Amino acid sequence: MLTDIEIADQAQMLPIEEIAAKVGLKKDQLEQYGPYKAKVTTPIKPVEGKKHKLVLVTAINPTPAGEGKSTVLVGLADAMNQLGHQTTIAMREPSMGPVFGIKGGATGGGYSQVIPMEDINLHFTGDLHALTSANNTLAALIDNYIMRDNELDLDPRRIIWRRVEDVNDRALRNVVTGLGGVMQGIPRETGFDITAASELMAILCLSKDLMDLKRRVGQIVVGYTRAKKPVTVKELGFADAITILLKDAIKPNLVQTLDHTPAFVHGGPFANIAHGCNSVLATQTSLALSDYTVTEAGFGADLGAEKFLDIKRLTLGKTPDAVVVVATIRALKYNGGVALADLKNEDLDALKQGFVNLKRHVQNIQNYGLPVVVAINHFVSDTDAEVQTLADLCAEMGVKAVVADAWAKGGQGTQDLAKTVVELADQPADFKPLYSLDLPIAEKVKAVATKIYGAKDVAFSKKAEKQLKSFTQNGWDGLPVCIAKTQYSFSDDQTALGAPSDFTFHIREFVPKLGAGFIVALSGTMLTMPGLGKTPAAVNMTIDENGVIKGLF
């Protein structure tokens, strides 16, 4: 059996101009990065006569190995094109840190991949590097500011702007900087996050254009004065310089699938510690040019879809016409209590028990008023009895479940799903928002926790309560909330699988992200910088004299 990178290496790619031509983009609207990658100059006007339909692909709570959401997304888009429904992809670009850690890449798998996979999984067109350097240039400017005259009296103890890296580096989570004496700055405690969790990443993904990005960068609160007044990037005079560093990164990237479906791969915030959706600009570009756009939102629907519908929707100005919830037999058995090592064995009872996880995700989407279909992402170890059991369980709750074999068969294995998706998307939907923006921050957190997660109530730490009071004083109540939570459970306890209820959801701390336009609520012990495992993927990678790479997933 071929590995992902071997399949990708054997692919016959089309020149990116040909992919662009499929959606009517001309050469002068492209900035090429080699023959198979390009950035697209925006804005792109909506093409008349196109349907401009949006399909959102999300998932159940995953096992640590992931449930192949990107794989199903790619296979689905290829299948829709094969069936004559003109479809384009809008998805996130991978973070490089996890590629060298445990997770591997994020470009689909098997015969449903976006390519060139090794470029996309590594530096790609430099978007994350531009974000890293913009973020850290701002950090250096701030530390330089407090070392100099510090006219605004920015309090070194109250700086909330952290540095970032696109590396899984736990040793940088908590650091003391500015050591070494008078000329090396002012010592203070701070830390690094992964770039995908940064506010600049969220800003890049939510900005409508370069000037909107500049406005948002200006609104970033970097810290507080000794009198606890928030200090913004605009007040410090750094907004233009930081925007200059992002002038190319804001342009959507165009690549292709193995089957030559155009794919806008742009913006990559994680969904557990950030808002988890690809860029508004990429999604809008795809919508403008196509009958159908297939997009995704990270991890399970409790994180990704919720944030798509409650945050990204606000600037995108468009709700999905259909939602696909990806489930695997293995993850449902995992949610039903089976150990990771035993997931290959048939277990109908565990499947039935774990089904509650899928059920709640589906109901949540239905509560938003959106049409939904379940995609059963097929694994070799799935038995016929298991597949039939799952289909029956779905039928009982009135939702269609379709087997998708995107990994082994590409679009050919995903055509049944494609037909169902097109039917759903072509019917009218009636979207109902989860909460009103007028609610206080705490009520918005409660709305997500009780209605989506199934929590009984929410407990705020003393610190969080104190923060909420100052946020009200600062006039920040009207913003949506972005909850940082484990992807493995509906709750804030990653071992509570299935569909836990009757639990209290804990908020440890808030982080205001005025540039992104939301308030982050940190639950449980969520970390904003991943670590490397005992045997990092890096150890098994090789490259030879022809540049052939092995061990990259």
Q: What is the footprint of a copy of itself within residues 171-190 (CB under 8 A)?
A: 171-180, 183-186, 189
What is the spatial distance between Cα 443 and Cα 448, in angstroms, rounded to a whole number? 9
Per-residue tokens: 516: 């992104």
CB of 247 to a copy of itself, least distance (A): 6
- Whichever of 67 and 118 has its CB closer to a copy of itself, that residue is 118
CB of 482 to a copy of itself, least distance (A): 23
Contacting residue, 14, 141, 160, 391, with a copy of itself by CB under 8 A: 141
What is the spatial distance between Cα 94 and Cα 19, in angstroms, rounded to a whole number? 21
Contacts of 508 (CB under 8 A, 6+ apart): 461, 463, 464, 522, 523, 524, 525
Per-residue tokens: 402: 């379709």
Q: Name the segment binding a copy of itself (CB under 8 A); options: 196-204, 236-244, 314-322, 459-467.
A: 236-244
The catalytic position among 92, 251, 330, 444 is: 92
CB of 148 to a copy of itself, least distance (A): 6
Task: For residue 67, say whether it is annotated as part of any ligand binding site.
Answer: yes
CB of 275 to a copy of itself, least distance (A): 24
- Whichever of 186 and 439 has its CB closer to a copy of itself, that residue is 186
Identify each DSSP E strand in 107-187 by its residue range.
108-109, 112-115, 154-159, 163-165, 175-177
- Whichever of 69 and 214 has its CB closer to a copy of itself, that residue is 214
The catalytic position among 124, 270, 299, 476 is: 299
- Whichever of 95 and 487 has its CB closer to a copy of itself, that residue is 95
Q: How many CA atoms lie within 13 A of 5 on its CB side?
A: 18
69 is catalytic: yes
Place of tokens 């379709």: 402
Task: For residue 191, say whether it is annotated as part of any ligand binding site.
Answer: no
The catalytic position among 11, 38, 42, 71 is: 71
Among 225, 204, 198, which Cα is nearest to 216's?
204
Q: Is 547 in the site for a copy of itself (CB under 8 A)?
A: yes
Task: For residue 63, say whether it is annotated as part of any ligand binding site.
Answer: yes
308 is catalytic: no
CB of 249 to a copy of itself, least distance (A): 8
Among 72, 42, 45, which Cα is nearest to 57's?
72
- Quote the crossing angle between the two packed helices 210-219 and 199-206, to the nearest 10°: 150
Q: Is 463 in the site for a copy of itself (CB under 8 A)?
A: no
- Whichever of 171 and 437 has its CB closer to a copy of itself, that residue is 171
Q: Within 120-139, which residues bind a copy of itself (CB under 8 A)?
A: 122-123, 126, 129-130, 132-133, 136-137, 139
Task: For residue 425, say whether it is annotated as part of any ligand binding site.
Answer: no
- Residues in the interface with a copy of itself (CB under 8 A) total 73
Q: How many CA atoms lie within 13 A of 137 on its CB side?
A: 17
- Whichever of 35 and 337 has its CB closer to a copy of itself, that residue is 35
The catalytic position among 11, 90, 271, 464 is: 271
CB of 240 to a copy of itself, least distance (A): 5
Q: Is 147 in the site for a copy of itself (CB under 8 A)?
A: yes
Q: Within 287-346, which residues bind a copy of itself (CB under 8 A)?
A: none
* Residue 499 near residue 397, CB atoms below 8 Å: no
Contacting residue, 169, 235, 443, 493, with a copy of itself by CB under 8 A: 169
Using CA atoms, how far residue 47 sits from 38, 51, 322, in Å, is 20, 9, 21
Q: Is 159 in the site for a copy of itself (CB under 8 A)?
A: no
Per-residue tokens: 187: 């010592």
Task: For residue 68, say whether it is annotated as part of any ligand binding site.
Answer: yes
What is the spatial distance between Cα 412 and Cα 82, in angstroms, rounded to a whole number? 8
Tell me the torsion sign for CA atoms 420, 422, 427, 430.
Answer: positive
Contacting residue, 52, 69, 162, 214, with a copy of itself by CB under 8 A: 214
476 is catalytic: no
Cis link prior to 43 (omega < 30° from 0)?
A: yes
* Residue 181 near residue 173, CB atoms below 8 Å: no
The catalytic position among 103, 313, 446, 513 is: 103
Task: For residue 65, say whether it is annotated as part of any ligand binding site.
Answer: yes
472 is catalytic: no
What is the spatial distance between Cα 549 and Cα 279, in angstroms, rounded to a whole number? 29
Q: What angle do CA 269, 271, 277 make, to 5 degrees?
A: 55
Among 463, 450, 527, 522, which Cα is nearest to 490's?
450
Task: For residue 66, say whether it is annotated as part of any ligand binding site.
Answer: yes
| Number of Cβ atoms within 10 Å of the Cβ of 187 | 12
Contacting residue, 83, 340, 395, 538, with a copy of itself by CB under 8 A: 538
Q: Within 68-97, which residues bind a copy of itself (CB under 8 A)?
A: 96
What is the spatial distance between Cα 474 and Cα 458, in angstroms, rounded to a whole number? 23
Per-residue contact string for residues 23-62; x = within reach of a copy of itself by CB under 8 A: --------xxxxx---x-----------------------
The catalytic position among 69, 307, 359, 513 is: 69
379 is catalytic: yes
Alpha carbon 496 to its chain centroid, in Å, reads: 23
Q: Note every long-range contact of 27-34, with CB atoms under 8 Å and residues 24 or more positions apart, other chains counting.
A: 30/254, 31/248, 31/251, 33/125, 33/253, 34/119
Place of tokens 């449980």: 524
Q: Is 534 in the site for a copy of itself (CB under 8 A)?
A: yes
What residues pair up with 292 in beta bridges, in sequence order?
53, 87
Q: Within 486-515, which residues bind a copy of itself (CB under 8 A)?
A: none
Q: Within 243-272, which residues bind a copy of itself (CB under 8 A)?
A: 243-245, 247-248
107 is catalytic: no
What is the spatial distance between Cα 498 and Cα 495, in angstroms, rounded to a whole number? 10
Task: For residue 461, say whether it is annotated as part of any ligand binding site.
Answer: no
238 is catalytic: no
| Binding annotation | 63-70
Active site residues: 69, 71, 92, 103, 271, 299, 379, 407
Which residues make up each annotated binding site for ATP? 63-70
